[in-house]
């Protein structure tokens, strides 16, 4: 079964529900973030954050918190990851205390990125509005089976022909 959003075939079977087991527990997170997105900007900001990933009951997924100490004082974010046994795909939602992660017009969660893991890489894509314009969003996980997993986010304003990486997180266990 190929994922039309990402062009990948997600891991199949019961083990796919454990794709994010590598992330469980506490982390220190080094963030590198493009200052302006989809504007030809080459200026990056860096900051540290902490996070802890936890499983949801019944193996339906997991969630984590994102707490940047100095980037935006008081900012709290979280990822909610839900696994579908029927489609063998993950849906990842982003929530934070600035937007709530909720569409103000409908009161529903904003659309997720959807995908899975293959060949040691996790690819998840979806549609989003950025500054009022539709963009394609891609999350990519790599290094999951190392002591330093890496996540990055990219936007495409041309339907996925070209991508601009705009946020990178490098994870390390607290010492």
DSSP-assigned letters across all residues of the chain: ---TTTS-----SGGGGGTTGGGBEEEEEEEEEESSSSS----EEEEEEEEEEEEPGGGSEEEEEEEESSSSTT--EEEEEEEETTTTEEEEEEEETTTTTB-TTT-SBPPPEEEEEETTEEEEEEEEEETTEEEEEEEEEE-TTSSS-EEEEEEESSTTSS-EEEEEEEEE---
Answer whether residue 36 shows pLDDT above 70.
yes
Segment 80-104, tens digit of pLDDT: 999 999 999 999 999 999 989 998 8
Distance in angstroms (rounded) separating the CA atoms of residues 130 and 93: 16
The pLDDT-based confidence of 4 (bands split at 50, 70, 90) is: very low
Answer whether residue 1 shows pLDDT above 70.
no
**pLDDT at res. 99:** 87
Segment 71-81, tens digit of pLDDT: 999 999 999 99
**pLDDT at res. 14:** 55
- For the segment 4-19, the average pLDDT, to the nearest whole number, is 58
The pLDDT-based confidence of 115 (bands split at 50, 70, 90) is: very high
Homologous superfamily (CATH) of 14-36+43-172 is: Calycin beta-barrel core domain (2.40.128.20)
Q: Rounded to the nearest 5 degrees, what angle is found at the Cα of 46, between the Cα atoms of 43 and 47?
A: 155
- CA atoms lying within 13 Å on the CB side of residue 14: 1
Percentage of the residues of the chain whose pLDDT score is greater than 90: 82
Answer whether residue 118 shows pLDDT above 80.
yes
Distance in angstroms (rounded) separating the CA atoms of residues 90 and 145: 19
Please tell me which residue, 120 or 11, carries the higher pLDDT value.
Answer: 120
Answer whether residue 6 shows pLDDT above 60.
no
Segment 125-154, tens digit of pLDDT: 999 999 989 999 999 999 999 999 999 999
The pLDDT-based confidence of 166 (bands split at 50, 70, 90) is: very high
């Amino acid at each position: 079964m190929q994922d039309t959003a990402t062009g990948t075939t997600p891991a199949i079977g019961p083990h796919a529900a454990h794709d994010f087991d590598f992330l469980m527990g506490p982390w220190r997170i080094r963030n590198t973030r493009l200052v302006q997105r989809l504007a030809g900007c080459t200026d990056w900001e860096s900051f540290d954050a902490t996070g802890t990933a936890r499983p949801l009951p019944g193996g339906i997924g997991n969630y984590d918190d994102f707490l940047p100490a100095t980037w935006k004082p008081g900012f709290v974010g979280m990822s909610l990851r839900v696994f579908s046994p029927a489609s063998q795909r993950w849906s990842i939602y982003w929530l934070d205390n600035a937007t709530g992660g909720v569409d103000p017009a409908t009161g529903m969660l904003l659309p997720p990125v959807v995908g899975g893991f293959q060949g040691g890489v996790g690819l998840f894509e979806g549609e989003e509005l950025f500054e009022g314009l539709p963009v394609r969003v891609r999350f990519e996980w790599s290094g999951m089976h190392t002591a330093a997993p890496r996540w990055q986010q990219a936007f495409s304003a041309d339907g996925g022909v070209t991508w601009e990486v705009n946020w990178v997180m490098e994870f390390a266990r607290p010492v």
